[in-house]
Structure 1
């Protein structure tokens, strides 16, 4: 099994919404970019949340646009062993220090968990701490979660209320 590590968080002290994935997939790790696989629906989904088409921007511009929209990114796992990119294959996960990050975000209003694995692990870490922060389970943006973009959009666009 290959040891895989997450990226640093993309946040600043104005972040109102934090979106947490589980652990980057192989394509993202190879390109050192969040949600790099072209079939992952994250960028269209978060574009609907922010009201700006982030899919047309290069990666650094996407991250700048997220920060400007007060959206942050990170993963619930700092590292884990996994062959391939499927969350079901994760073993020996090591948690990121979500509580420490949350303490640095004074305007944080909500955390969206991108998929069931992120939600399950994130709640274990944050459940008791996040009394004033909404904790929201989101349908996974992964192409492996095959319900389709239209079915995922309502849950994701509901996050808009935390940005205003």
Structure 2
């Protein structure tokens, strides 16, 4: 069983949209980069929406998201998980990130988008009940997972769903 730790958020105080995954996978942990698994469509989608594709160096992708008003983080600060599948996260081991503090220090965030149903479920179960009233007023949207394990939807369909991020960021 692997104990995985989340990365610090990619964000600045002007962020308008927060994208939440569940927990970094094995490849991401090894490379110390969000969505480092080459078959994950996340950076391909960010490339189409913000010019932050996998062909751009990671540090520049990071800056492009921040300049676009997009923040990126994970629901889990840490958790036990064998492998990289979200379905393998041991829910009883999850320690959620501190969203009350994060949302308080990022007051312009008005939309939280979940990268898949697992991230949304963990947030609703482990984070939302403990949030103060003001952050609960943020809008939430579950988007199709960019994971290669979620292969039942064509890329163009995923991109159409994910375009809400660009709209909410003001682009």
TM range (shorter): over 0.9
Q: CA deviation at 1:48?
A: 3.1
Aligned to 1:75: 74
TM-score, normalising length: structure 2: 0.89
Counterpart in 2 of 1:126?
A: 128
1:29: which partner in 2?
29
Task: Name stretches of at least 5 consecutive residues in structure 2 with no aligned partner.
Answer: none
Query: Using the alignment, how far apart are the partners of 1:85 and 1:161 within structure 2?
Result: 30
Unaligned 5+ runs, structure 1: none
Change (3 A) 1:65 1:58: same
Change in CA separation of 1:76 and 1:53 when aligned onto 2, cut-off 3 Å: closer
Segment of structure 1 superposing worse, 14-23 or 129-138: 129-138
**CA root-mean-square deviation:** 1.4
SS at match of 1:74: strand
C-alpha deviation, 1:53, in angstroms: 4.5
Say whether residues 1:155 and 2:161 are aligned partners.
Answer: yes
Number of aligned residues? 163
Q: In structure 2, the residue corresponding to 1:145 is in which secondary structure?
A: coil
Q: How does 1:14-163 map to 2 (within 5 A)?
A: 14-50=14-50, 52-91=51-90, 92-124=93-125, 125-126=127-128, 129=133, 130-146=135-151, 147-163=153-169
CA contact (8 A) 1:48 1:157 kept: no
